[in-house]
Amino acid sequence: MLSYVLRRLATAIPTLFVIITISFFLMRVAPGGPFNLERPLEAKVMENLNRIYHLNEPLWRQYLLYLSNLLHGDLGPSFVYRDFSVGDLFAAGLPVSIQLGASALTLALIIGTVLGSIAALKQNSTIDYLVVGVATFGITIPPFVIAPVLSLIFGVSLGWLPAGGWGNGALPNKILPIVTLALPQIAIVARLIRGAMIEALRSDHVRTVRAYGLPTRVVVMVHALRAAILPVVSYLGPAAAALLTGSIVVETIFGIPGVGRYFVQAALNRDYTLVMGTVVVVSIFVVVFNMIVDLVYAWLDPRVRYD
Amino acid sequence: MRRLLSRFVLGAAAVALMAASASAEVTYTRGNDADPETLDQHKTSTISEANVLRDLYEGLVVYSSSAKVVPGVAESWETSDDGLTWTFHLRDDAKWSNGEPLTAEDFVFSYQRIINPETGAKYANILYPIKNAEAANSGKVPPEEIGVKALDEHTLQFTLENQTPYFLELLTHQTSLPVYPPAVKEFGTDFVQPENMVSNGAYTLQEFTPNSRIVLVKNKNFHDADNVSIDKVIYIPFEDRSACLRRFEAGEVQSCSDIPTEQMKYVKDTLGDEVHIVPYLGNYYYAVKADKEKLSDVRVRQALSMAIDREFIADEIWAGAMLPAYSLVPPGIGNYGEPAYADYKDMDPLDREDKAIELLEEAGYSKDNPLSVEIRYNTGENHQNTATAIADMWKNIGVKTTFVTADGATHYAYLRDKGDFDIARAGWIGDYSDPQNFLFLVESNNPGFNYANYDNPEYDALMEKAEETSDLDERAEVLKQAETIFMRDLPFIPILYYSSLSLVSDKLQGWEDNLVNVHGTRWMSLEQ
């Protein structure tokens, strides 16, 4: 097992390297640069800015410089948030995004699994139709609709929760963003569980434990759910990577200081180092979570082993 | 049980105490357009940066609540007869937030820093009226040679290149705010961090969390601290204007720096007097490549301008958030009278259309040989709607229109690099209230802004003459002649004047609407 993990990590490094290389050069193909403002700069000032940020050097030198800095853990200075380095920005924003994403994910897993299982057990009943209906609804309504509506109802009309803002991480400020993030995930998890559960309940091994006379509770929770959760696990890898690295919609609408907004802000402002920073961070998350998924898979499904 | 009870009582007392101290502290949560790129005044260029810096620092002169130029660090000032030397007398009690005295030398240090090309100050060129500033900023002379000298601890003298009637206005800009030299020397670019920053305004910096908030607290060493009523200002960046509106309605913020125009009717109906729509010092225009063959005929540009129903665009597309523009210089600007309006300003739209068709025919375009143009604009819903509406209006006079869009950075880089286009959207917000700040856009030696490649020696000569005219009335007359030529030649087609849109809570006192949309927190108070 350990050797498998090490091997996976070793193959991750070339993958990251390829991603970084492609992103670095692709980004430079985009027209414009970080210092293209409405008011053009004095040539000498532009020259100095380019020198300060090493933009005057040949692209391959900049690339090597970036790689060597990266190896030392330095993501470089931000062009758009000039008072911060990219490292500072992630150190401040990532914990916020991870907190929200992890809470939403946990919420989605618990509620989604319960709803999905109930629907599967009562297949074709009213409850089943209700769950499927709500789930479909949850997937189709995008967060940029859900978020303002929640904020309007609970923040403006009822005044129960803040309409926005982070409030230094106070619980009331987190509720609406977490719910917004969780709703579509609940829907997806519920649907996946329902489908897999229906199949699992009909499978041979579940029929066998039923025949042994085990109580339904044990049959469902221990034997059927273990098989039914597999598709959810493979879905969770990419989903977790996406959720934990923040959501631009939720962060913009609720005013959350996470890292999700940097993806778009950095690209639009040609903040080269911040773009690269987001690429590196997201790639690491994707690689790591895919690995975790594979490991969990092996643990859940005895047929899969990586030795 | 008794212990529990006593604990409870103690706890309640503590809560009550906290509540009492909280009510003593007045906090103003203020919506801002965006986060500052930096809080280093010398590296800033945007309006959202200016708002925060205005509270942190005080320049020689400042804008009052009604945007009049009033004494700041300088108590008084005088100019020489030729208008080239300005002497400022600094107040004796001017101090930095750490209690150290603020001297004329600090200003000298600050001006030399911003003009030094090493600093990489993006907006240094606004200070070019100061003698040798341009030469120093382009590295031709050392920064020490600019025309800013400390005569003694409390006297600062500027020498200028030319008469600059708007010089005082210019000094209100954030580029003229002082930096604390010891902090800059010790911390370098990190002097802007909350733990290092020393400022001299009504507030000091406590916290800057990107995409979340900037917290300022009252500066006890500020000379007018007794009259500063708000203790704490929290600036919140709102990229999403609707988010600010919701938080305003929920009572979480006391002002918003913008209003979602698509919800304007709802906003006006529900918020009434708290909605402030005020003429602003800005112009939304279409630049026309004047040296391109099909557009070089003035009659073509006139026809295109005449056919635009600006009232429709202002009222329907921008929901009254913009005003129809028939001149480059917005009305109400300082050192000027009425702008040189287009003569078709009050003409009936249908007559204007007929006249436009006539002009196009004179220029050789007809149904069989229609004019086709391409509009470039930066992405944005209202920009798109405006371009679509204009294309539709131009269709009525037989002009075919196509569109090209790009995001802001690409769009402006393209214009600056003299990319090929027919017509391009752009906007200009004045840095100071003077017509020169608009008319200089199309001087032939201003390639960075003269997107139209307009080159008219007569126009340049008038602009030069205005620079040398010291009598303000006479200067206004010369500038108006220049604008008249502009409106005849139309290198830019003015479409709308900007308005500033704000939501201001009834509880917030001292917010006075003004043309430059400047509202220092030190002038305001808040009812709890």
CATH number of the domain that residue B357 is part of: 3.10.105.10
Helix, strand or coil, per DSSP, at residue B207: strand
For residue B302, pLDDT over 80 is answered with yes
How far away is chain A from the Cα of B452, in angstroms, using its nearest Cα?
A: 15
How far away is chain A from the Cα of B411, in angstroms, using its nearest Cα?
A: 8
| pLDDT single digits (tens) A224-251 | 888 888 888 888 888 888 888 888 899 9
d(CA B75, CA A97): 49
For residue A53, pLDDT over 90 is answered with no
For residue B10, pLDDT over 50 is answered with no
Whether B256 is covered by a domain: the verdict is no
pLDDT at A306: 60
d(CA B267, CA B262): 10
How far away is chain B from the Cα of A169, in angstroms, using its nearest Cα?
A: 11
d(CA B419, CA B133): 30
Contact A164 B124 (CB under 8 A): no
Helix, strand or coil, per DSSP, at residue B139: coil
Whether B13 is covered by a domain: the verdict is no
| Closest to B359 in 3D by CA, of B492, B491, B488 | B488
pLDDT at A161: 92
pLDDT at B363: 93
Calculate helix-pair angle for A143-150, A171-201, nearest 10 degrees: 130
d(CA B120, CA A129): 63
pLDDT at B356: 95
Tell whether A44 is within 8 A of chain B (Cβ): yes
Q: Which of B192, B238, B409 sits opposite A83 (nearest CB)?
A: B192
Q: What's the rounded mean pLDDT across residues B289-308? A: 93
Confidence grade of residue A305 (pLDDT, cut at 50, 70, 90):
low
**Helix/strand number for chain B, H first, E second:** 16, 19
Confidence grade of residue B525 (pLDDT, cut at 50, 70, 90):
very high
d(CA B503, CA B277): 9
Q: How many other C-beta atoms lie within 10 A of the C-beta of residue A18?
A: 11
Q: What angle do CA B27, B31, B33 make, to 5 degrees?
A: 150
Confidence grade of residue B144 (pLDDT, cut at 50, 70, 90):
very high
Q: What's the rounded mean pLDDT across residues B37-62? A: 92
Indicate if B76 and B128 belong to the same structural domain.
Answer: yes
What's the CATH number where B181 sits?
3.90.76.10
Confidence grade of residue B8 (pLDDT, cut at 50, 70, 90):
very low
Calculate helix-pair angle for A171-201, A86-121, nearest 10 degrees: 40
Report the range of poorest mean pLDDT among A105-109, B4-8, B196-200: B4-8
**Helix/strand number for chain A, H first, E second:** 14, 0
Which residues in A lie closer than 8 A to residue B239 (C-beta atoms)? 252, 261
pLDDT at B468: 84
Confidence grade of residue A212 (pLDDT, cut at 50, 70, 90):
confident
Confidence grade of residue A215 (pLDDT, cut at 50, 70, 90):
confident
Report the percentage of chain A scoring pLDDT > 90: 31
Contact A37 B189 (CB under 8 A): no
Indicate if B509 and B447 belong to the same structural domain.
Answer: no
Report the range of poorest mean pLDDT among A25-29, B452-456, B519-523: A25-29
Indicate if B512 and B491 belong to the same structural domain.
Answer: no
Residue B59 region, left (φ>0) first, then alpha (ψ -120 to 50), else beta? beta
Whether B252 is covered by a domain: the verdict is no
Contact A252 B124 (CB under 8 A): no
Whether B88 is covered by a domain: the verdict is yes
The overall average pLDDT reported for chain B is 90
Q: Are B494 and B283 in contact (CB under 8 A)?
A: yes
Q: What's the rounded mean pLDDT across residues B191-208? A: 95
Whether B261 is covered by a domain: the verdict is no
Contact A40 B448 (CB under 8 A): yes
Q: Are B111 and B121 in contact (CB under 8 A)?
A: no
The overall average pLDDT reported for chain A is 87
Which residues in B lie closer than 8 A to residue A83 (C-beta atoms)? 38-40, 189, 192-193, 208
Q: Which residues of A194-219 are buried (b: 16+ CB within 10 A; e: fewer)?
A: bebbbebbeeeebeeeeeeeeeeeeb
DSSP code string of A105-167: HHHHHHHHHHHHHHHHHTTTSHHHHHHHHHHHHHHHS-HHHHHHHHIIIIIIIS-SS-SS--G
Q: Does domain A88-304 have CATH number 3.40.50.2000?
A: no
Confidence grade of residue A214 (pLDDT, cut at 50, 70, 90):
confident
How far away is chain B from the Cα of A271, in angstroms, using its nearest Cα?
A: 11
> What is the end-to-end Cα distance of chain B in Å, rounded?
38
d(CA B441, CA B289): 14
Contact A89 B412 (CB under 8 A): no
d(CA A103, CA A101): 5
Interface test with B, best of A37, A51, A152 (most B CBs within 10 A): A37
Q: What angle do CA B111, B114, B118 make, to 5 degrees?
A: 135
Which residues in B lie closer than 8 A to residue A47 (C-beta atoms)? 117
d(CA B61, CA B474): 26
Whether B236 is covered by a domain: the verdict is no
Q: Which of B39, B139, B409 sits opposite A269 (nearest CB)?
A: B409
| Closest to B208 in 3D by CA, of B220, B219, B218, B195 | B195
For residue A9, pLDDT over 90 is answered with no
Confidence grade of residue B4 (pLDDT, cut at 50, 70, 90):
very low
| pLDDT single digits (tens) B342-378 | 999 999 989 999 999 999 999 999 888 999 999 999 8
Indicate if B174 and B309 belong to the same structural domain.
Answer: no
If one compares B445 and B45, the residue with the highest pLDDT of the two is B445
Indicate if B213 and B358 belong to the same structural domain.
Answer: no
Contact B211 A258 (CB under 8 A): yes
Contact B137 A44 (CB under 8 A): yes
Q: Are B429 and B329 in contact (CB under 8 A)?
A: no
Indicate if B437 and B520 belong to the same structural domain.
Answer: no
* Domain containing residue B155: 27-231+505-526
Contact A30 B448 (CB under 8 A): no
d(CA B510, CA A34): 38
Confidence grade of residue B20 (pLDDT, cut at 50, 70, 90):
very low
ipTM comes to 0.85
| Closest to B47 in 3D by CA, of B508, B506, B501 | B501
Hey, what are B58's tokens?
Answer: 């005080």
Confidence grade of residue B16 (pLDDT, cut at 50, 70, 90):
very low
Strand stretches in chain A, DSSP E: none
pLDDT at B211: 87
> What is the end-to-end Cα distance of chain A in Å, rounded?
6
d(CA A192, CA A194): 5
Per domain, the residue ranges of chain A are 88-304
Question: Taking CB atoms and an 8 Å cut-off, how many pairs form between chains A and B?
Answer: 143
For residue B239, pLDDT over 70 is answered with yes
Report the range of poorest mean pLDDT among A5-19, A151-165, B377-391, B430-444: A5-19
Report the range of poorest mean pLDDT among A4-18, A34-48, A76-90, B452-466: A34-48
Q: Tell me the CB-side half-sphere exposure of residue B94, using CA atoms within 13 A.
A: 28
Calculate helix-pair angle for A272-300, A260-269, nearest 10 degrees: 150
Residue B515: what are its φ and ψ, rounded to 5°?
-65, -30
Determine the longest span between alpha carbons in chain B, in angstroms: 99
pLDDT at A224: 85
Helix (H) or strand (E) run with residue B255 in it: strand B255-256
Contact B39 A83 (CB under 8 A): yes
d(CA A86, CA B415): 30
Indicate if B491 and B509 belong to the same structural domain.
Answer: no
Indicate if B357 and B430 belong to the same structural domain.
Answer: yes
Report the range of poorest mean pLDDT among A41-45, B187-191, B394-398: A41-45
Which residues in A lie closer than 8 A to residue B408 (C-beta atoms)? 268
* Shortest CA distance from B125: residue in chain A: A42
Q: What is the 3-state secondary structure (H, E, C) of A38-51?
A: CCCCCHHHHHHHHH
Q: Which of B43, B45, B210 sits opposite A257 (nearest CB)?
A: B210
How far away is chain B from the Cα of A80, in angstroms, using its nearest Cα?
A: 5
Q: What's the rounded mean pLDDT across residues B314-328? A: 92
What letter would DSSP give residue B511? -
For residue B260, pLDDT over 50 is answered with yes
| Dihedral sign for Cα atoms in the order B499, B500, B501, B507 | negative
pLDDT at B13: 43
Helix (H) or strand (E) run with residue B214 in it: strand B213-218
Residue B395: what are its φ and ψ, rounded to 5°?
-60, -35
Q: Which of A48, A81, A156 sits opposite B210 (nearest CB)?
A: A81
Which residues in A lie closer than 8 A to residue B410 (C-beta atoms)? 30-32
| pLDDT single digits (tens) A98-151 | 999 999 999 999 999 999 988 988 888 898 999 888 888 888 888 899 999 999
Contact A81 B35 (CB under 8 A): yes
d(CA A125, CA A115): 13
Residue B286: what are its φ and ψ, rounded to 5°?
-110, 120
Whether B484 is covered by a domain: the verdict is yes
Q: How far is CA B327 from CA A210, B478, B490, in A?
A: 85, 16, 10
Q: What's the rounded mean pLDDT across residues B87-110? A: 96
Contact B252 A164 (CB under 8 A): yes
Confidence grade of residue A295 (pLDDT, cut at 50, 70, 90):
confident
Place of tokens 């499978």: A203
Indicate if B211 and B307 belong to the same structural domain.
Answer: no
Q: Which residues of A55-86 are buried (b: 16+ CB within 10 A; e: fewer)?
A: beeeeeebbeebeeebeeeebbbbbbbbbbbb
Q: How many domains does chain B have?
A: 2
How far away is chain B from the Cα of A27, in angstroms, using its nearest Cα?
A: 13
Q: What's the rounded mean pLDDT across residues B62-68? A: 93
Q: How far is CA A183 from CA A94, A109, A140, A178, in A?
A: 22, 11, 11, 9
Helix, strand or coil, per DSSP, at residue B61: strand
| pLDDT single digits (tens) B145-161 | 999 999 999 999 999 99
pLDDT at B259: 92
Which residues in A lie closer than 8 A to residue B212 (C-beta atoms)? 165-166, 255-257
Whether B3 is covered by a domain: the verdict is no
Q: Which residues of B510-528 are buried (b: 16+ CB within 10 A; e: fewer)?
A: ebeebbbbbbbbbbbbbee
Q: Are B166 and B160 in contact (CB under 8 A)?
A: no
